[in-house]
Chain A
Amino acid sequence: MELEFERVWLPYLYLYGVGGLIFFTGLIMVLKSPAYSHKRLKDRKWLGTLLFGYFWYAGMHGVGILAAIS
């Protein structure tokens, strides 16, 4: 399919760039706050889940775009 880069990838880069800035800023704030304790196993598991979620969605949208343009 012939679509311009701006139509296909610019929204994706903006979503996971600006969205990523929000997400990772939030994550760093959590890690620096007393709400999170690395000693608590549950907290470490939730940290893993949060990171998984970001890449899960980035992957889903990426695969969706590749399927559309292939």
Chain B
Amino acid sequence: MLPLLATLLSVPLQEGGEAASAAAMQAAAKAGGSPVFWGIVIGYFVIVLGFGGYFARFNRSTNDFFFGGRRFAWWLITMSIVATGVGSHSFLKYSSKAYEHGFSATMAYMNDWFFMPLFMFGWLPIIYYMRVRSIPEYFERRFNPGVRVLATISLLLYMLGYIGIGFVTMAKTLLPIVGPHLGLDLIQIVWIVAVVAGVYITFGGQTAVIFTDLLQGFILLFAGIVLFLLGLDFLGGFDAFWNALPDDFKLPLANFNDDPGFNFVGIFWQDAVAGSVGFLFMNQGLIMRFLACRSVSHGRKAAAFNVLFALPISAIAVANAGWIGRAITTTQPDLLPPETNPDSVFVHVTALLTSPAGFGFFVAAVTAALMSTVDTLINAVAAVTVNDIYRPWMKRKGVESNDKHMLRIAMMVSAGATIVGVFTAWLFSQFAQLYEAHAFFQANLTPPLVAAIFLGIFWQRFNSIGAVATLIGGAIFIVLGVKFPETLVAPFSHNIPLQDGKSYIYIGAFYNLVACFSIGILATFLSSKPSDKKLEGLTMWTVDKARHAFKGGTPNDRQGFKMPVRWEVHEELPDGAIVVDQETMEGLAAVEGDLIYICDKRWWLGGLRSTHGNLRGSHQHGEVAHVAADVAANGHFLAGKMVVLEKEM
């Protein structure tokens, strides 16, 4: 395997695995002048774009465009989540910290399980059964329109910040490659990246995004693991790699509180708490993924498989360039000097280990995935702006707007979000490293929303006044904490020293969370209880009502089987209707009025050709499903292909 990979991707190896190439920095710059490198990069982008464009055909409405139509299998959604995580700023950010601190750079990938019970049984069933399409929508239904406005502002800031991080990451990836040739600085490259992103956005919608993610998720994991194998081969095997690392580098958790730039306890509160809740509960892109699942059960499977198995593999894929880089610096400092900028370690190590063609593949895989992530975020900004600001505003004016008009508005918002993203990118470029920029952003922006969502879901007493106090009061206390860290944050700091004597990067999240939760709880106790109407189906304690609302009646929990049948369209049936024979009905353990998921029998399509319908009685014509015309159209079923019926809930 290794010799084959070395032949395909890497530089020619001499005896003992020593590279014949020049130093790492020259290798990266040299690739920037290679036509083969650029041919591979452009070719890769064209293939990915074409792949997404093909699946854009499966959109039939804005519902499909934004949410993918609630049809996909768990494994598709898992890979989509992997691509979203790995394909964002991960390769650069974690390689950077892995180069400085070793295996503990993977901490942020390995601490997401603590909130899983509350996500699987609380938030996921609520958003799915109550059809909550965005965080602001949840805030309006649980509280009032005023809280929705505050949440929309917070959420847009959060997503625009992430677009900026995406732009900076892409620019930092390209800087060592194109910088020496074109004489461009980081911000000039950010502008170029933003223009390319504007062209790259295909407006293919959620279905295109999910299938492009499937392709890119596999490629990124494969590329990351191959890079590790190439690195081990380069160093002379695993033992040589292991022995080249300092002892402290091998520990999976960082120092408790010694280093203000990277410490365990600060990252626990910033990432394991604020970051995990931020990712699972308030990431609009992730909500859209889970709403694209065929059922709550498939959503749970996607989340569980992602955290239990995909994240540990992803952690190795994204961080190993830093570990390999450190081992090279220890054994051959002339190839990768100790003073190398950690944020460029991923690019330098990849350039060192691969040929221009192989390097082109790696750079293309990472930048194309970053483009997809930014694309998804811009899509999410458009979804929130259209659904939470523009549509309600048009409704108040009494204007009916069609899908075409809404799509045009979504595209205009996307262009605006791209430009704002450039300015946030400039802000993040002021930090010494990408990891710190992202952590500081996450520690200070997410806590008010995290506290408000959390209290809203898990505490029935929490009311609108509490939510407003959390969002506004929390933001004020956070600003004060940034201004006066020694007075306000220090008591929560676990004795972490101040970074450069002026601020806390990570542990500020602990102070921020305590402040936001305290204000919310205090304001709630000082005001009246919310009405029961505001709670139905929107808290974990009333989620049974959400199942009831989703079904439109009492859920049928009897365990049934999946039933393969032929299908035919019956024009006389009302929209959404499915009629089956008595035997199939018994196999499904279904009764009239139950919700049915109907899917092409070929499992590997992942639900691409599927939809939902209502069971409307039985017939006497054998094992064939009679479906309404709209069911066949929405499911994109192919004539002559069998379908599988499954009772929902």
Contact = CB atoms under 8 A, between A and B. Distances in A.
A65 B634 CA distance: 52
Interface string B219-247: 00000000000000000000000000001
Interface string A1-26: 10100111011101100111011001
Interface stretch (B120-128, B419-427, B519-527): B120-128
Contact of A33 (B111, B312, B540): B540
Contacts of A18: 268
Contact of B114 (A23, A35, A52): A23
B251 A30 contact: no
A44 interface: no
B557 interface: yes
Contacts of A29: 117-118, 122, 458, 540
A7 to B, nearest CB: 6
Contacts of B308: 52-53, 56
B496 to A, nearest CB: 13
Interface residue range, chain B: 35 or more
A60 B110 contact: yes
Contacts of A7: 248, 251, 255-256
A11 B254 contact: yes
A27 B541 contact: no
Interface in B95-135: 103, 110-111, 113-118, 120-122, 125
B113 A68 contact: no
Nearest to A16: B114
A3 B251 contact: yes
Given A11-B253, A11-B264, A53-B308, A23 B117 contact: yes
Given A8-B251, A61-B252, A50 B116 contact: yes
A24 B85 CA distance: 26
Nearest to B103: A64
A68 B254 CA distance: 13
B273 interface: yes
Nearest to A21: B114
A39 B544 CA distance: 14
B265 A11 contact: yes
Given A11-B265, A14-B256, A26 B117 contact: yes
Interface residues of A, number: 42
Interface string B308-335: 1000100000000000000000000000
Contacts of B543: 33-35
Contacts of A33: 121-122, 540-541, 543
Contacts of A67: 250
A9 to B, nearest CB: 9
B36 interface: no
A14 B253 CA distance: 11
B307 interface: yes
B304 A30 contact: no
B121 A6 contact: no
Interface in A26-55: 26-27, 29-30, 33-36, 39-42, 46, 49-50, 52-54
B273 A22 contact: yes
B300 interface: yes
Nearest to A39: B557
A30 B125 CA distance: 12
A32 B624 CA distance: 43
A45 to B, nearest CB: 10
Contacts of A19: 111, 114, 268, 272
Contacts of A57: 110-111, 113
A34 B256 contact: no
A26 B118 contact: yes
Contacts of B430: none
A39 B255 CA distance: 45
Contacts of A1: 247, 250
Contacts of A11: 253-256, 264-265
A27 B117 contact: yes
A46 B308 CA distance: 13
Contacts of A3: 247-248, 251
A30 B118 contact: yes
A15 B272 contact: yes
Most buried by A among B122, B253, B273, B307: B253
A61 B540 contact: no
A34 B544 contact: yes
Nearest to B296: A42
A48 B544 CA distance: 21
A68 B255 CA distance: 14
B401 interface: no
Nearest to B277: A22
A3 B103 CA distance: 16
B518 interface: no
Contacts of A64: 103, 251-252
B125 A35 contact: yes
A23 B113 contact: yes
Contacts of B26: none
Top-5 shortest CB links A-B: A68-B250, A64-B252, A11-B253, A11-B264, A26-B117
Interface of B: 103, 110-111, 113-118, 120-122, 125, 247-248, 250-256, 264-265, 268, 272-273, 297, 300, 304, 307-308, 312, 458, 540-544, 557, 559
10 contacts: A11-B256, A22-B115, A29-B117, A30-B120, A34-B542, A34-B544, A35-B544, A36-B121, A61-B110, A67-B250
